[in-house]
Amino acid sequence: MTTQQQIAVMVGEQPVEVIVSDAVLNFTLPILSTGWPFGENPKRGGVLLPGVPTVVDRVAMPGKYRVVKWLLLISDDVHGLGISSEINAFMKGGTIEFTEFAVIGDADLVRYEVDLVVDDNEVRLMVTSGHDGVLEARSMKIGLFS
């Protein structure tokens, strides 16, 4: 669903007409649920309780070298707050390295921590809320395996 609004912005002494669009993503149903090797996508990770590590998503990572990238959305819908970030992970053997980057939104107001936990060939995306309100997590992933 997209909404648009046309506004006039002054550039110097001249008004310029600008169209502002707002897109809303629908996470109610997975885009792909069968025949996709990485599981349900996008994934609704559920409610994040303060101080409780919560599994937001998981992925089986067979092969010698494995890469997974998540797009993460964390929101406080009651207060209209949200953040988006990307998490890039590289697994070799039983060791995983990851980084979270491209954090945008209300990062100064929505506090949380991200961790990845390896259990054999499965990697779990864990999020721990440090926020006073109720947070909900959603994620989408892509992966590469050797």
Mean of the per-residue pLDDT values of the chain: 83
In whole angstroms, how far apart are CA 67 and each of 52, 94, 109, 137? 26, 13, 30, 21
pLDDT tens digits for range 18-65: 777 665 555 445 444 444 455 566 777 788 999 999 999 988 877 777
% of the chain beyond a pLDDT of 90? 46
Q: What is the mean pLDDT of residues 121-137?
A: 92
Which pLDDT value is given to residue 33?
47
Domains of the chain (ranges; CATH) run: 30-145 (2.60.40.1680)
| Distance in angstroms (rounded) separating the CA atoms of residues 69 and 87 | 6
The pLDDT of residue 115: 96
Question: What pLDDT was estimated at residue 81?
Answer: 95
